[in-house]
Amino acid sequence: MAELDLTKLVSHFAQSNKAEAKSPKTVSWYTEMLFDFVKFLRSSGREAILAELNAFSVRDFIIREQNRGLSPYTVQGKVRALKAFSSWLLADGYTSENVLSNIKLPRVPLKIVEPLTPPEIDLLISAQNPLTAIGCRDIAILVTLLDTGLRLSELSGLHLYDAHTEEGYLKIMGKGAKERLVPVGALAQKMLWRYVFHFRPQPATEQDNYLFLTLDGRRLSSNAIRLIFERWGRRAGVPRLHAHLCRHTYATNFLTQQCGDVLRLKLILGHNSLEMVNRYVHFASAQDMIHGRVSSPVDRLGIKMLKGYKIDRILKRISN
């Protein structure tokens, strides 16, 4: 087993992920990250065999990637892929133990990302003509993302028959082929109705019966929406606009506006654990500190000597 070719094992791992119905994007991402490790082994004079997948070589790989100036998120992603691969090797009997169980994920900075503000959203809406097919569609896309927190791929893959706007929810097929229901507010319902009833073209084929379509009735792909947002943001003076920022804005506002607790947010966003949701709690808390009324411990103490501090009256008299 120790002499097995890592390249073949990575390909086997990819086939296993496909059989488990993981998304093509996920399968491709794992494969790319693992082949980076294979290239590292060969470039450092080592054989690309199973025996070289160990804690020592992986730590060397981490240091090499960090020294290359890659972002901490990219490095952490590569280590996640290696750890998933190591777990699979054990489960499929290629190794007698999880050789990377003691490898910890490199830390990444927890940066505070400002959600889209109401003035920025106003600028974006004002830059579109709601009386045109494109303008009405794009406004409906933006409002839907801000009101539901959908991933870009989930929005692009949403079929017309899964949009239960009258009942106030969308049926979403998320990561790992897990279906969930996402509530939709009154304003988003109104924007969706306007688009579907007045501007949505007939699908070009039966397979194109998606909610959001191009002008010729084809599915509006994730890449197309990404480009629309890039151009729209620059034109409206909000160049930081992108689909994931809308998801972040939704999650932050969900908490700051007290629309529900973290468990409800976890279900709506389609996360498997509370790890990512806890990041939004951190962001929301930061927003409260910046924009909300923060209670001061010293103010609450009510220190009498400081309230009637005579030096203030003295300084005022001197300045006059």
CA-to-CA distance for 24 and 17, rounded, in angstroms? Answer: 9
197 and 82 fall within a common domain: no
Same domain, 129 and 25: no
pLDDT digits (tens, 9 = 90+) for 79-90: 999 999 999 999
**Percent of the chain at pLDDT exceeding 90:** 64
Could you tell me the two tokens for 85?
A: 């691969």
What does R_g of the chain's alpha carbons equal in angstroms?
26
What's the whole-model pTM score?
0.73
Together in a domain, 250 and 157: yes
Contacts of 264 (CB under 8 A, 6+ apart): none
Residue 291: the pLDDT is 59
Strand partners, 173: 179
The reported pLDDT for the residue numbered 315 is 59
Task: Give 159's strand partners.
Answer: 210
Once rounded to an integer, what is the mean pLDDT over residues 259-266? 85
In this structure, the answer to whether residues 130 and 166 fall within a common structural domain is yes
Are 139 and 261 found together in one domain?
yes
- Tell whether 190 and 56 lie within a shared domain: no
Q: Answer whether residue 202 is part of any domain.
A: yes
> Does 169 map to a domain?
yes
Q: What percent of the chain has pLDDT over 70?
A: 88
Whether residues 243 and 176 fall in one domain: yes
Mean pLDDT of the chain: 87
Residues forming the active site:
151, 175, 244, 247, 271, 280
pLDDT class for 260, splitting at 50, 70, 90?
confident
Both 240 and 175 in one domain: the answer is yes
Measured CA to CA, the distance from residue 232 to residue 245 in angstroms comes to 14
Looking at the fold, whether 127 and 83 belong to one and the same domain comes out as: no
Same domain, 78 and 153: no
Q: Is residue 219 situated within a structural domain?
A: yes
Same domain flag for 140 and 78: no
Backbone angles phi, psi at 182, to 5 degrees: -120, 125
Query: Do the domain assignments include residue 104?
Result: no
Say what the pLDDT of residue 75 is.
Answer: 94
Give exposure, 152-170, as e/b (b: 16+ Cβ within 10 Å). bbbbbbbeeebbebeeebb
pLDDT tens digits, 266-318: 888 887 777 777 777 767 776 665 555 555 555 555 555 555 555 556 656 66
In terms of Cβ atoms closer than 10 Å to its own Cβ (0-12, 13-18, 19+), residue 144 is buried
Q: Is residue 105 part of a domain?
A: no
Encode pLDDT of 190-245 as tens digits: 999 999 999 999 999 999 999 999 999 999 999 999 999 999 999 999 999 999 99
Instruction: Say whether both 125 and 81 belong to one domain.
Output: no
Domain residues for 63? Answer: 6-91
- Domains of the chain: total: 2
CA distance 42 to 55: 17
What span, in angstroms and rounded, lies between the C-alpha atoms of 69 and 153?
Answer: 29
Query: Would you say residue 182 lies in a domain?
Result: yes
